[in-house]
Structure 1
Amino acid sequence: MTVPSWIYDAVFYQIFPDRFYNGNPSNDPPNRKDWDSDPTFTGYHGGDLRGIINKFDYLLDLGINAIYLNPIFLSPSPHRYNTTDYFKIDMLIGEKKDFLELVEIAHQNNVKIILDGVFNHSGRGFFAFADILENGPESPYVNWYHIKKFPLDAYTDGKAENYFAWFGFKSLPKFNISNPDVCEYIMKIIHYWLDLGADGWRLDVPNEIDDDGFWSKSRSLVKSINQEAYLVGEIWQPIPKWTKYFDGLMNYPFRDAVIGILNGEIELKQFMETLEYLTSLYPKENVFAMYLPLGSHDTKRLFTKLGGDVRRIKLAFLIQFVFPGIPAIYYGDEIGMSGGKDPENRATFRWNENEWNNDLRDWVKLLIQIRKKYEIIRRGKLSIIKFDEREKTCLFKREYKGQEVILICNFMEKKMLFEIDTAQFRWKQGEKIRNIVGNESFIIDKNKLSIELMPFTGKLFTSLRE
């Protein structure tokens, strides 16, 4: 397996289209909700592809170079995971020409765009399922789904009982992937959007499609069209087999570990063991291509999970950017947006800068700049050097081409003094090293370095030679 050459250098930004920015009010539904009103499961706020185009300078200023778009295809809901037509942009967020313009602007600025592929299930309005509802067992598409018995009950309250549906939701009938016609249809979808300039796919709930042949075929197709396309699977558990089909996985176990240690939900030993496990579980090239989220449309927001404590949030971002893999920012997390479970975590972006936490946004910008500057942070081997369970401090090393960077973290609610034996590194007596996420430098003296760490902070050190 070969992952895309650009992926190790990526920083992703996830956008939920309806909630990012309303760039074209003319395509809004008549019952559009006020932009700053609380999100609901079914309410539209007017965000669209034109909005992403209009705010592209914001993304460039932040420094990201890859975008993951939640579903953009025709659908009867703001989340658009219940697709009606996979070949059409939902008219509420734009047209094909808007997508092409967005791709063009992105590529002109060396930014990649990947799409959300929802192929386990469709919406009830998808042509094949609609035909079954209309014609029953006489429908030519009856084998496109898993039908138990007729007539189908698709619109009353309750769980689906006479056909398979994702988590029993009647609005999400499950495709019969073993049907060659269904498989071929999905391959055409994948091909179509790659031809239009998409740089890859995030595959929704791939574990629900228990068909290795399907995933093997889809990977072969994608790579035959564009060897540099990125495939990332929404796999919530650490399962190595999926790296046969995807370049990376959405590394939620990493997120859980980071939030767990910062919330005091897990011990430091468990945190360190988890990070070590996640870097040893997969082939090396996949480890460095893992998608590292701290939040998404499926989780509570980072700000909320960490109780609004900016110290903890900044430390979470620091660990994310230093850990092997691809940092991913959920829209608004960089300005301190809060939100609990769905739909609270899908609120509209706050474009009033008075509502931004600029300290946090500046921190994220700095981390992106550092990641771009230091190849070692993008490609270096990770080693866990030391941790102290009692004092809740730890030290990591990234190493690449004879260079080293050292990350030290304090997970305690008190100031700690961290003693480093520098003989184990390439640093020499009298050498000056600096904290590249702060304004301080130190001199190595007698193979020792004493570093003061404020509560819930981290420092990232490198030699001034580097």
Structure 2
Amino acid sequence: MIRWFLYHTAEDPFAFPVGSGLLKLRLFVQNGQQLSCTVIHSDRYDSPGNEIPLPMERIGSAGAYEIHEAVLQSATGKCRYLFHVENPAGDYVWYGERGLSENREHAGSFQYAYMHRPEAVKLPSWSSDAVVYQIFPSSYNGGTLKGITEKIPYLHQLGITALYMTPIFESTTEHKYNTSDYYKVDPAFGSTEDLKALVDEAHRHGIRVLLDAVFNHSGDTFFAFKDVLEHGENSRYKDWFVIHSFPVVQTPSPNYETFAKAVSIMPKLNMDNPDVADYMMEVSKHWVREAGIDGWRLDVANEVSPRFWTRFRRELKAEFPELLLIGEIMHDSGPWLRGDQFDGGMNYVLRDAVLEFFAEQYAGPVRFMEQVLHQEALCNDQANSAMFQLLGSHDTLRFLTACKQGGGAGNMRTQLYSGCGWQSFSK
């Protein structure tokens, strides 16, 4: 019995719709064996003998495995399939839901029951080729929204098509990730009218505007947490947070969950609480309606209840179909990009590969391409086209600085022409 490594499952990112009646299949196969792959497919309800063979394309190598893909057509959206894998010597196996076998019937078949229309995720029309400029408001042109507005024509001349600002809502810190009031622009930056003027000016120049939302945690000066500090276990908001005991203690170590580890000014929100979820849903809709923003970047998205994000997407996309939703996830973001939560993620994993190759010059071209292909294979095509391909952010060393430190400054221009999806630059 042949024992080649093969892997597939009939779900995203190994099977996903890419258009009406079109299903992309992705198969991982053992590297170094020169294996050719064919998918044998039919309608789920067809009798045996009506299958159609479709050769798969070898996309490339991702280290120990190769990636093979094919797009099959189905008039009904109901697919049954299995794989035939063969080496140059003519040895072959069948691979289906029951595993590997030299006997086709024993391998079984994979089933993609039905291609529902919502699964063919429709992204905002402007998102796939956006060039994004990130701004940390307090350090940009005077530290105000008016100062940013003044620079819109300049950003337009640079070729920027989307602007992402870190949090602008009232807070006690410079970074504003500990929100005090989700409905108020921080006075240090300006007013709601200043935000509207910024968005209007950006739109006149063909630039979209994304704001940063922090729903994983609030600030300790948020009205609900202040009430908990004052009234303790009798507070009507005690279940808005994850508090381990009463009375609430902030120092020397908080007795409630926070962002990261023991960051007392950032108490973690209980997003499984319906009242908290309702409140933050209204916040997210308010700023799209009030200021006309074009998207949200969601902070610490991987630590918020997936149930909330599913609702978040459903309700926002129903009212604002062109709104872009980007989750901040600093590891593999594939599980959040299946069409029910975010359009794309902040691709820190790709940034790490870019730094290794272009800046640190640690990795050679083979390892670099293996990392790129591996990362892309963990997401469906729609998610890959909406990934935030950042070179740097407020949380990282600037890319140019990293290139200079690693001796790879001369490679920076090359990198700028090698990206896919969003290109993002920070200031």
Provide the rounded CA distance (Å) in 1 between the counterparts of 2:330 and 2:372.
Answer: 15
**5 Å matches for 1:220-299?**
220-244=314-338, 245-262=341-358, 263-299=360-396
After TM superposition, the structure 1 stretch with the greater mean CA deviation from structure 2, 85-94 or 257-266, is 257-266
Q: Is the 8 A contact 1:194 1:225 kept in 2?
A: no
2:280 to 173, 186, 210: 186
- Displacement of 1:280 in angstroms is 2.2
Change (3 A) 1:249 1:200: same
Q: Is the 8 A contact 2:333 2:345 kept in 1?
A: no
- Displacement of 1:276 in angstroms is 1.2
Provide the rounded CA distance (Å) in 2 between the counterparts of 1:317 and 1:66.
Answer: 21
Q: Is the 8 A contact 1:76 1:84 kept in 2?
A: yes
Classify the secondary structure of the residue corresponding to 1:50.
helix
Classify the secondary structure of the residue corresponding to 1:80.
coil
Provide the rounded CA distance (Å) in 2 between the counterparts of 1:318 and 1:60.
Answer: 23
1:122 to 195, 202, 218: 218
Per the alignment, residue 300 of structure 2 pairs with 205
Provide the rounded CA distance (Å) in 1 between the counterparts of 2:240 and 2:373.
Answer: 43
Moved over 3 A (4+): 311-318
- Displacement of 1:12 in angstroms is 0.2
Per the alignment, residue 20 of structure 1 pairs with 140
Provide the TM-score with structure 1 as the length reference.
0.63
Provide the TM-score with structure 2 as the length reference.
0.68
Change (3 A) 1:247 1:313: farther
Q: Structure 2, unaligned stretches of length 5 or more?
A: 1-120
Amino acid at match of 1:266: A
Provide the rounded CA distance (Å) in 1 between the counterparts of 2:410 and 2:221.
Answer: 43
Provide the rounded CA distance (Å) in 1 between the counterparts of 2:299 and 2:410.
Answer: 29
Provide the rounded CA distance (Å) in 1 between the counterparts of 2:130 and 2:383.
Answer: 14
Q: Is the 8 A contact 2:130 2:421 kept in 1?
A: no
**5 Å matches for 1:369-448?**
none
Render the CA deviation track for 1:311-360: whole Å, top value 9, x for unaligned.
934633543443221000112xxxxxxxxxxxxxxxxxxxxxxxxxxxxx
Provide the rounded CA distance (Å) in 1 between the counterparts of 2:217 and 2:349.
Answer: 25
Per the alignment, residue 327 of structure 1 pairs with 423
Amino acid at match of 2:314: S
Larger radius of gyration: 2
Provide the rounded CA distance (Å) in 1 between the counterparts of 2:426 and 2:344.
Answer: 17
**Greater helix content:** 1
Per the alignment, residue 163 of structure 1 pairs with 256
Aligned pairs, how many?
A: 302
Amino acid at match of 2:397: K
Q: Is the 8 A contact 1:302 1:313 kept in 2?
A: no
Amino acid at match of 1:165: T
- Displacement of 1:239 in angstroms is 3.4
RMSD: 1.5
Q: Is the 8 A contact 1:248 1:290 kept in 2?
A: yes
- Displacement of 1:110 in angstroms is 1.0
Change (3 A) 1:104 1:118: same
Change (3 A) 1:286 1:316: farther
Provide the rounded CA distance (Å) in 2 between the counterparts of 1:300 and 1:95.
Answer: 31
**5 Å matches for 1:73-88?**
73-88=169-184
1:90 to 169, 179, 186: 186
Amino acid at match of 1:204: D
Amino acid at match of 2:298: L
Per the alignment, residue 246 of structure 2 pairs with 150
Provide the rounded CA distance (Å) in 2 between the counterparts of 1:314 and 1:111.
Answer: 30
Change (3 A) 1:216 1:313: farther
Q: Is the 8 A contact 2:134 2:163 kept in 1?
A: yes
- Displacement of 1:228 in angstroms is 0.7
Classify the secondary structure of the residue corresponding to 2:408.
helix
Q: Is the 8 A contact 1:321 1:327 kept in 2?
A: no
Provide the rounded CA distance (Å) in 1 between the counterparts of 2:302 and 2:412.
Answer: 28
- Displacement of 1:308 in angstroms is 5.7
- Displacement of 1:137 in angstroms is 0.7
Q: Is the 8 A contact 1:132 1:142 kept in 2?
A: yes
Change (3 A) 1:57 1:89: same
Provide the rounded CA distance (Å) in 1 between the counterparts of 2:314 and 2:350.
Answer: 28
**5 Å matches for 1:447-458?**
none
Per the alignment, residue 51 of structure 1 pairs with 147
Per the alignment, residue 10 of structure 1 pairs with 130
Per the alignment, residue 215 of structure 1 pairs with 309
1:71 to 167, 170, 173: 167
Amino acid at match of 2:128: Y
Render the CA deviation track for 1:27-63: whole Å, top value 9, x for unaligned.
xxxxxxxxxxxxxxxxxxxx01011011222211211
Classify the secondary structure of the residue corresponding to 1:232.
strand
Provide the rounded CA distance (Å) in 1 between the counterparts of 2:413 and 2:345.
Answer: 19
- Displacement of 1:279 in angstroms is 2.3
Provide the rounded CA distance (Å) in 1 between the counterparts of 2:333 and 2:306.
Answer: 14
Amino acid at match of 1:166: F
**Greater strand content:** 2
Provide the rounded CA distance (Å) in 2 between the counterparts of 1:304 and 1:324.
Answer: 22
Q: Structure 1, unaligned stretches of length 5 or more?
A: 23-46, 332-466
Render the CA deviation track for 1:375-412: whole Å, top value 9, x for unaligned.
xxxxxxxxxxxxxxxxxxxxxxxxxxxxxxxxxxxxxx
- Displacement of 1:69 in angstroms is 0.5
Amino acid at match of 2:316: V
Q: Is the 8 A contact 2:129 2:421 kept in 1?
A: no
Provide the rounded CA distance (Å) in 1 between the counterparts of 2:417 and 2:326.
Answer: 18
